Structure 1
Amino acid sequence: MEAPTAVARPAEGRRPDLSRDVATLPKAHLHLHFTGSMRHSTLVELAAERGVQLPEALVQDWPPRLRATDERGWFRFQRLYDIARSVLQTPDDLRRLVRETAEDEAAEGSGWLEIQVDPSGYASRFGGLTPTVELVLDAVREASAATGVGIGVVIAANRTRHPLDAKTLARLAVRYADQGVVGFGLSNDERRGRAYDFEGAFRIAKRGGLLSTPHGGELLGPGSVRECLEMLEADRIGHGVRAVEDPRLLARIVDRGVTLEVCPASNVSLGVARSAAEVPVRALYEAGARIALGADDPLLFGSRLARQYALVRDGHGFSDAELAELARQSIEGSAAPDSVRGRLLAAVDAWLAS
């Protein structure tokens, strides 16, 4: 990929233009997890119907107070996520989740979504890995037709499981590469699974034409990002914000045109940064890195995609022209078909000209 071209910056000390609504800015959403995309109201409703007892952190105290920089904090985060997943018990539940997610994406200005799912977490309930993937893809097609939002699926392996399981998922992902699967990811706690252990799975996925989109550089430092870049040949890196700590690594990311899926609200909620202003979006942007803002898990962090753009505007003084450039970078870093890409890029220009 070519390195991104330089973009205009507001003059030093100039107040950025705050007139345009970021929810109407056309954009792509490249970092959204399946269960984590669920509406909070849907979680509460389905839990009541299914007899699932939700902890107060998911009811009265929602959004929960989280911190994942230590193992105990990550365990609590994962436990809440698993409880939320447990309310999805029928095919109609999954179809509802995807449909509502697409509706929410449309309201946030997202014209293209890549939703990430580990089918292993649902396989026992829906007849196995293959039927689960087919159910998700069918739900995606229905939701896309109903809302007009283009949707691709990223199948993700779990760092805490054996690398052979990841190879199974990679082969499955490649099998459906022409039916809506666009990428292969790697998620969960970086501290419990090194990226290089999963090189074989990502080699299968890359040879099958899928994007490589592992998580890295969230809870661990630049070394985690480097492994994703070198061992997994990442096209995008989930989070990747810790790359800012290693200028030479960041320069390689820029040279390769790798997109960083930066999730400001998530970084703050999990303790990676103390505030949105401390998430190094400006430093990454000024270095020339491609950035796609993402909401990660709105169900647990309490905000969706447009809010991430507002946080960058408020915390880093991004002008409307710079926000438009972030939206372009999200579109260009996506697996969207050329026709969708062209339409969205033209719409970004129209938003900025309005």
Structure 2
Amino acid sequence: MREDVEMPRPLDKLPKAHLHLHFTGSMRHGTLIELAREQGVHLPDALEQDWPPKLRATDERGWFRFQRLYDIARSVLRRPEDVGRLLLEAAQDEAREGSRWLEIQVDPSGYAQRFGGLTETLELVLDAAGRASGATGVGIAVIVAANRTRHPLDARTLARLAAQYSDRGVVGFGLSNDERRARARDFDHAFRIAKRAGLLAVPHGGELLGAGSVAECVDDLDADRVGHGVRAAESPRLMERLADRQITCEVCPLSNVGLGVAERPEDVPLRRLFEAGVPIALGADDPLLFGARLLPQYELAREVYGFDDAELAELARQSIRSSAAPESVKKEVLSEIDAWLAAPA
């Protein structure tokens, strides 16, 4: 190797924030297998020997299969210690990949019957997140997410719950699941409740539907960030609005490919959004189903989208700036990103 050719800086040493990670989907595959065997839960081949599953959710049947696998995975989390284990392992994985701050998204409704109610479930998650943060040094906050496939009144209940815990580690309110099933504007009341409590509005949009879905999140829900948002690249005018208002898109490239939103990693418009000035926070979405955590998303940015180290450092900065981390944490991590870039390659 020529001595004057610099090696790229190690991406696992680049400090960053992870802002798009779902609770159940953050589980390690090995943990899923172990808990399923302990509890006698039969796992389909797609979650065992054929893992990661081959998915395509651009049609109703494909989304149903994706949701079915997700529900099976959720079913193995039955005890408070399972929740604690999931969050500790997620935090360990984040620390190993250079994450300094994690915002993990959970819909307490999915566990309420198992753990004694919505409030009890959220408290269980928050307590486990606090322990995991203390054990790993990764800052962890929680986003409470409503489900688009349920009634908007359920979303209001969750928004009120999230607001009650805004001083206990809940930093945002989201809206997930199949965006084709309900309009963002149907949930505007819930998001007003969350915003009044000082929570970030972080709905999903622009994944399975186009730029109009992103625009609805911005116009009707006053989104601070948009989960995915990649379809905004279909509208130069919308990208300009997002850039002007500094509304972040939480882009999850390997999730987009896994669900058929993009045929190949090369087709995810990460570079187009970045060059339009749209803030970006790379995310993994559901590593349990897509087979990749946060670090491979940054590796894609380097290897497929051609981001150099200065641009990768800017992606990391944007993830930190877009987070709900305390200002002191943001300042510290931003200085560490500068140090990563200043160090010899």
Please state which band the TM-score falls in when normalised by the shorter chain.
Answer: over 0.9
CA contact (8 A) 1:99 1:143 kept: yes
Are 1:253 and 2:242 matched, yes or no?
A: yes
Amino acid at match of 2:26: S
Q: Quick one: distance in 2 between partners of 1:17 and 1:34?
A: 39
What residue is the counterpart of 1:7 in the other structure?
none
Q: Quick one: distance in 2 between partners of 1:83 and 1:338?
A: 39
Are 1:235 and 2:239 matched, yes or no?
A: no
What residue is the counterpart of 2:176 in the other structure?
187
Q: 2:204 aligns with which of 215, 239, 253?
A: 215
What residue is the counterpart of 2:85 in the other structure?
96
What residue is the counterpart of 1:348 in the other structure?
337
Q: Quick one: distance in 1 between partners of 2:151 and 2:24?
A: 22
Q: Quick one: distance in 1 between partners of 2:40 and 2:17?
A: 36
Q: Quick one: distance in 2 between partners of 1:291 and 1:194?
A: 24
Amino acid at match of 2:22: H
Report how many aligned residue pairs link the two structures: 339
Q: Which runs of 5+ in 2 are unaligned?
A: none
Q: CA deviation at 1:23?
A: 1.1
Q: Quick one: distance in 2 between partners of 1:320 and 1:20?
A: 7
Q: 2:324 aligns with which of 335, 342, 350?
A: 335
Q: 2:291 aligns with which of 302, 323, 328?
A: 302
**Cα deviation 1:97-135 (Å, max 9, x = unaligned):** 000000000001000000000000000000000000000
**Cα deviation 1:282-314 (Å, max 9, x = unaligned):** 000000000000000000000110110001111
Correspondence 1:43-58 to 2 at 5 A: 43-58=32-47
Q: 1:288 aligns with which of 277, 284, 299?
A: 277
Q: 1:42 aligns with which of 22, 31, 39?
A: 31
Are 1:69 and 2:47 matched, yes or no?
A: no
Q: Quick one: distance in 2 between partners of 1:84 and 1:302?
A: 14
CA contact (8 A) 1:152 1:180 kept: yes
Are 1:83 and 2:93 matched, yes or no?
A: no
Q: Percent identity?
A: 71
- Structure 2 SS opposite 1:178: coil
Q: CA deviation at 1:193?
A: 1.2
**Cα deviation 1:202-254 (Å, max 9, x = unaligned):** 00000110000000000000110010000000000000000111111111111
What residue is the counterpart of 1:3 in the other structure?
none
CA contact (8 A) 1:277 1:312 kept: no
Q: CA deviation at 1:168?
A: 0.2
CA contact (8 A) 1:221 1:243 kept: yes
Q: CA deviation at 1:18?
A: 5.4
Q: Quick one: distance in 2 between partners of 1:55 and 1:27?
A: 35
Q: Quick one: distance in 1 between partners of 2:299 and 2:8?
A: 12
- Structure 2 SS opposite 1:114: strand
Are 1:19 and 2:8 matched, yes or no?
A: yes
Correspondence 1:157-172 to 2 at 5 A: 157-172=146-161
**Farther-moved stretch of structure 1 (269-278 vs 121-130):** 269-278
Supply the RMSD in Å over aligned alpha carbons. 0.9
Q: Which runs of 5+ in 1 are unaligned?
A: 1-15
Q: Quick one: distance in 2 between partners of 1:99 and 1:191?
A: 34
Q: CA deviation at 1:17?
A: 6.8
Are 1:105 and 2:63 matched, yes or no?
A: no
Q: TM-score, normalised by structure 1?
A: 0.95
What residue is the counterpart of 1:29 in the other structure?
18
**Farther-moved stretch of structure 1 (16-25 vs 120-129):** 16-25
What residue is the counterpart of 1:267 in the other structure?
256
Q: 1:263 to 1:18 in 2, by over 3 A?
A: farther
- Structure 2 SS opposite 1:289: coil
- Structure 2 SS opposite 1:124: helix
Amino acid at match of 1:244: A
Q: Quick one: distance in 2 between partners of 1:178 and 1:343?
A: 22
